[in-house]
Amino acid sequence: MNKHLRHTLLPLSLAVTLLSGCSALYEKGDQDVVPDSVTQAQSLPGWVTKPPADNAKAYGVGSMELYGNPDQALKRASDFARADLVSRLKVTISATNSSRINEFTSDGETRLQKSVSQAVSSTIPTVTLDEVVIRDTYVDDKYAYALAELDRVAAASRITAQLRDVEQELNQLRTSEVTGTGKLERLQQQLPALSLFAQHDQLAEQYAFVSTSRTQPRAPQDLRDYRTGILADLKDLDVRLTLLDDGARIMRGGLYETLTNQGLKLGDSTDPDLTFEVSANLDSQRQDGNYYVFANARVNLRDSSGQVLSSFSDTARGVSGIQKNALNKASEKLAEQLSAELANTLTQRLR
């Protein structure tokens, strides 16, 4: 019996096409009769069941059952073939332990630094594999088949050129003069480099994905030191927390502790780089043995000149059998929102 093709969706929108088949001989009287399914299988191109083997290229096979429109079936089969190609590369990378490693991440990186890096990375469009082509197709009376091909050498060469371009831009920023006296003012001039570093990370990951070496290129040491310095300047910003009402002051302990743990340098400087102004309306309720604390907070983030950089309001909730613990949890969640807002605000400076 012929087992039809099945398409299985994998994470990251990858698809793997599984091809399997079996044949049998049936006797009719004194003669062996070959079923139609076996004849059909024998007429298929060899790449349907066994993609070509070439270390310089990668292949994927896809198929789609015909439903009256061969062109539409071929289009879907081509999409499945591209997804199969990507999934085969992904499996190979996992097998060779070449998954992405962020060369800049260390045990000493603070939550704030990570939040800023993640916020920057989210603004970078995903690079595409321009070299993937549909090398061959085949249609019979039941299925449409497609063979996708990637020239890995050509793709790696293109990505290498893109990496060099990004490194050239980074070197121009690294050697440019930084003006201004305030820490935030000077940091803002360097923040665009983080966007370029995020592009470099993504291109390096893509290179390891397609290249035959499976290695991930590293930026030159002077550029890695440059990025480390920018993140260190971020960590060194002086931040003041101004609590505007009783509700905010009740949350003071939890706010200070969480923000400090996340890497913010909180102090009572009269000339801070950043100021968080917080007001909060607390609502405490008890239900089924638990305390529920809701903090409806309003926050302004100001720079050293008093200009409002961003403003937001949100509700943080804490739940515990002990009222103080519920308040602390609400305070921690509000502090996390403050840190995320700071990361997002700084990221906006990149655009």
Determine the Cα–Cα distance for residues 264 and 128; give it in Å rounded to an integer: 37
Q: In this model, does residue 180 exceed pLDDT 90?
A: no
The top-scoring range by mean pLDDT among 82-91, 145-154, 207-216, 304-313 is: 145-154
More confident residue, 69 or 22: 69
- What Cα–Cα distance (Å) separates residue 315 from each residue in 250, 324, 337? 16, 18, 10
Which has the closest alpha carbon to 76: 7, 135, 26? Answer: 7
Mean pLDDT of the chain: 82
Going from the C-alpha of 75 to that of each of 71, 83, 134, 140, 149, the distances in angstroms are 6, 13, 10, 15, 15
* pLDDT tens, residue by residue, 3-15: 333 333 333 332 3
Average pLDDT over residues 343-348: 83
Cβ neighbors of 55 (< 8 A, separation 6 or more) are 212
User: How many angstroms separate the CA atoms of 201 and 195, rounded?
Assistant: 10
Mean pLDDT for 328-348 is: 88
Tens-place pLDDT, residues 27-52: 334 444 434 444 455 589 999 999 99
Structure-token pair, residue 190:
């360097």
For the segment 189-221, what is each residue's pLDDT rounded down to a tens digit?
Answer: 898 899 999 999 999 999 998 998 888 899 999
Rounded to two decimals, the pTM is 0.74
Strands annotated E in 111-237:
132-139, 143-151
Residues 6+ apart with CB under 8 A from 307: none
**Which domains, and CATH codes, for the chain?**
6-98+132-151 (3.10.28.20), 238-348 (3.30.160.150)
* CA proximity to 334, closest of 303, 293, 302, 306: 293
Average pLDDT over residues 296-324: 92
Give the whole-angstrom CA distance, residue 227 versus residue 220: 11
pLDDT at 72: 94
Q: What is the pLDDT of residues 246-261, one digit of tens each?
A: 999 999 999 999 889 8
